[in-house]
């Protein structure tokens, strides 16, 4: 019969092995990138700026919630922004790549 560690030992082992959760890279969230690009494409001026600011702040907050530090969250938001810009270019260029 296998021996089982006590609850105290399991908690100690689990907490020692706990590390930040690494979320799926924001710039690889294709559906989110396309949805944001589509929204931005239909907005102009202050409405576009406010939408984009909200999306980026929400993404940064989500990343921090899952354990990213400020610099990691910032880098991920910048990568996401770049992908959305590329998607906007594709929308207007008419290419699928």
Does pTM surpass 0.85?
Answer: no
| CA–CA separation, 85 and 89 (whole Å) | 6
Q: What is the pLDDT of residues 77-92, one digit of tens each?
A: 999 999 999 999 999 9
The overall longest dimension of the chain from CA atoms, in Å, is 69
Mean pLDDT across the chain, nearest whole number? 80
Q: What is the pLDDT of residues 1-21, one digit of tens each?
A: 555 555 555 555 444 455 555
The whole-angstrom distance between residue 75's C-alpha and the CA centroid of its chain comes to 10
* C-alpha to C-alpha distances, 79 to 16, 30, 73, 76, nearest whole angstrom: 31, 12, 10, 5
């Amino acid at each position: 019969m296998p021996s089982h560690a006590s609850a105290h030992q399991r908690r100690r082992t689990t907490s020692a092995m706990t590390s930040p959760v690494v979320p799926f890279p924001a710039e690889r969230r294709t559906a989110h990138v396309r949805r944001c690009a589509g929204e931005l494409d239909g907005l102009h001026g202050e409405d576009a700026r406010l939408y984009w600011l909200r999306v980026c702040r929400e993404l940064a907050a989500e990343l921090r919630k899952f354990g990213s530090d400020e610099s990691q969250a910032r880098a991920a938001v910048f990568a996401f922004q770049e992908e959305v810009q590329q998607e906007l270019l594709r929308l207007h260029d008419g290419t699928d790549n």
